[in-house]
Structure 1
Amino acid sequence: MDAVEALAIGAAAIAAGGINAVVGSGTLITFPTLLAFGYPPVLANVSNTLGLVPGTVSAAWGYRRELRGQLRRVLRFGSASLLGGLLGALLLLKLPESAFDTIVPVLILSACLLVLLQPRINRWTRERRAASALQREDGGLPMWCGVLGTGVYGGYFGAAQGVILMGLFGSFLQEDLQRLNAVKNVLASIVNGVAAVIFIAVAQIAWKVVLVIAVGATIGGLLGARVGRRLPPAVLRGVIITVGITAGVTLIVR
């Protein structure tokens, strides 16, 4: 890894860490960057997942005030994220690399669509919350299963898992959205963390890439938790969608 590559990956990691803290789609920045430097897709995904763990943890720490009083919720949904992340990571390692090459462009483009539709999802969430005062505190079994499924997705690839979680939270829970965003960061940390443990045990890893992404994502996660709410959401979505579509098309035609 030369200086130019390290700077480019580090800059992408800072952006991804900040985006993950606020939106939850940072993989759509770092993963295409690794592909652009010639890393094979599975190696890029594994190394990216490991590198982003400190960033998601720092984002969760940055939202620690909003986590107060939510221990029961975090433990309940955390069990689903732990199991889902484990299953997703095992799927990544067990399925052939050709399956990853086929599935990931679809996941990337789907994630871009989710990010594009996020304003509508947010409006629908607010309308649903305003119209119903009967939502359960924990969302019941459907919510737990939704978090489990999101964890499987996150352990396998992970882009926009935060968007999915926030959509689920808004649909099933009656709670302040900033407090829910704090829980989202914890659950993403659990998914990435358990996947990282599996990958360290059995997968090939580009450790220099992991180190660069870890440092950048940690900085970005702390910055995102502090100032991310002030950034224009349209700008963030535009960057994410542009990079994501480029990556998805590149994987399809390669």
Structure 2
Amino acid sequence: MVLCAEMAIGGLAGAALLLLAPASVFTAVVPWLVALGAVLLLARDRIRSWAERRALRRGRASSPWTWHLMVPVIGVYGGYFGAGAGVILLAAIAVRHVEPFAVSNAVKNLGIGAANGTAAIAYLARGQVDVRAAVLLGAGAFVGGWFGPAVVRWLPERPLRMAIGIAGLGLAVSLAV
């Protein structure tokens, strides 16, 4: 529940940034945000190994404050842009916790749902929503949320993670061009 609360706070801040910043900022930043998420997911094992070595050298795990600062920042990303935020949160969860991919994915879904839901309420309150498009996106998210976890449990983790990361890089390049 702490993760969801932190993501919701970040999502609200991200929505405020999107509503207040010029559209040109969004256009310039988005490809880089997507690429960051993809690279983090692709480099997850190396990042996790580095974090474990660092913790051993220091004689303790990373500070919980680092985690509790990072999660709302990911929530800001989710509330601001949304796409790719799940990949970034998934990478962060995978570095912090050693869980099966299906468990990490389920936790990611809850956190991203909190950030996106909070941001959606802010957008609705400001009247900044194309309701028809939102309904279609919501339906797609519902279908993905219903079938996605079953697919994640069925497919092998590493190839799936690599495919998601490579697709993310492709999306980043597409958005940049």
**TM band (smaller chain):** 0.7 to 0.9
Residue in 2 that maps onto 1:88: 14
Matched, 1:110 2:36: yes
Q: Which residue of 2 aligns with 1:226?
A: 150
SS at match of 1:159: coil
Alignment of 1:192-203 (within 5 A): 192-203=116-127
Alignment of 1:21-100 (within 5 A): 74=1, 76-100=2-26
Q: Which amino acid aligns with 1:212?
A: L
The answer on 1:162 being equivalent to 2:86 is yes
Give TM-score, length-normalised by structure 1: 0.56
- Whether the aligned pair in 2 keeps the contact of 1:111 and 1:160 (CA below 8 Å) is yes
What is residue 190 of structure 1 aligned with on the other side? 114
- Residues 110-138 of structure 1 show CA distances to partners (whole Å, capped at 9, x for unaligned) of 2232233235446x28966xx699548xx
Give aligned pairs, total: 173
Gaps of 5+ in 1: 1-73
Partner of 1:39: none
Q: Aligned partner of 1:110: which letter?
A: L
2:128 aligned with 1:204: yes
Q: Hey, what's the Cα distance between the residues in 1 that align with 2:81 and 2:9?
A: 15
Q: Which amino acid in 1 is paired with 2:155?
A: L
Matched with 1:214 is 138
The answer as to whether partners of 1:126 and 1:170 remain within 8 angstroms in 2 is no
Separation of aligned partners in 2, 1:135 and 1:99: 37
- Give the TM-score normalised by the residue count of structure 2: 0.77
Q: CA deviation at 1:234?
A: 2.3
Answer whether contact 1:111 1:159 (CA < 8 A) is retained.
no
1:171 is displaced (CA, Å) by 4.3
Give the aligned residue type for 2:78.
Answer: G
Contact 2:42–2:161, Cα closer than 8 Å, also in 1: no
Tell me the CA shift for residue 80 of structure 1: 1.5
Aligned equivalents of 2:175 and 2:105: distance in 1?
Answer: 31
Aligned sequence identity (%) = 34
Q: Is the 8 A contact 1:109 1:245 kept in 2?
A: yes
CA distance in structure 1 between the partners assigned to 2:84 and 2:31 by the alignment: 13
User: Any idea what the Cα deviations from partners look like across 1:164-202, whole Å, max 9, x if unmatched?
Assistant: 3344334445x6345444332211110010011011111
Distance 2:15 2:79 in 1: 5
Deviates more, 1:223-232 or 1:78-87: 223-232
Task: Quote the Cα distance in structure 2 between the aligned partners of 1:89 and 1:110.
Answer: 20
Root-mean-square deviation over aligned CA pairs: 3.1
